[in-house]
Amino acid sequence: MSLIHPTAVIEDGAILGNNVSIGPFVFIGKGVSIGDNTTVASHTGIEGKTTIGKNNRIFSHSAIGTIPQDLKYDGEDVELIIGDNNTIREFILLNPGTKGGGSITKIGNGNLLMGYVHLGHDVIIGDNCILANGATLAGHVELGNHVVIGGLTPIHQFCHIGDYAMVGGASAVTQDIPPFCMAEGNRANLRGLNLTGLRRNMQRDDINALKVAYRELFEQGNPMQEIAQTLLEKSKSKKVKQLCEFIRSSKRGIPFKRTKNED
């Protein structure tokens, strides 16, 4: 049984799971599907072809599934998919995909999107990410798993941020941020490994291997792509290989900054 406030508007065709709670003045469009035990707070609008999984908490004044902010959009059939156990705070804006980007925006499981976060069209987010207040992801951005984005941080179109990466608040990301790394600043240069996040989630041997690889890749002044290829061939660490594969496949480049002695 769902709990629906009498002022809510739910169009025919919308699908609500068991124990869904819909607050005052909520609008649910005909193409929307909401999974069990999800709550939608007051003054939220959910539109378009939007699928929301189980156990999500959606706070007030969010706009979810509205048409993409892309001048090329011409009414195509596009989609927004949200997984399970996500927390979507106040004044969130989530757009579906576009024909040019695969037609899908997708959010995984267990993510926390704080107030005023915007996810543009064709964004892909993995699991257990945290986006602080005012983080803004432009179209076609991709985040891995366990990524942390600081508040008031914009991320440029087509950027890719790897697993367990962290970007400091009020940074500006214009290039790819490799997995396991920390970046900050106006150009979001690399500042080292995200050691706090790694220590919470990885074995010491993996962290030590990543420390060695980071020094070789970013601190010794050698060609990064060549070092990445060498490490791919020689390293036995799966984490190091993941880091090097990311670097080798980067389309926007890696914004690394060498140590002061090498500047």
Active site residues: 121-122, 139
Q: How far apart are CA 140 and CA 119, in angstroms?
A: 9
Bridge partners for 87 per DSSP? 57, 112
Q: What 3 state SS string does the chain have?
A: CCEECCCCEECCCCEECCCCEECCCCEECCCEEECCCCEECCCCEECCEEEECCCCEECCCCEECCCCCCCCCCCCCCEEEECCCCEECCCCEECCCCHHHCCEEEECCCCEECCCCEECCCCEECCCCEECCCCEECCCCEECCCCEECCCCEECCCCEECCCCEECCCCCECCCECCCEEEECCCCEEEEECHHHHHHHCCHHHHHHHHHHHHHHHHCCCCHHHHHHHHHHHCCCHHHHHHHHHHHHCCCCCCCCCCHHHC
In DSSP terms, which residues pair with 143 in a beta bridge?
125, 161
Tokens representing 122 are 């064709």
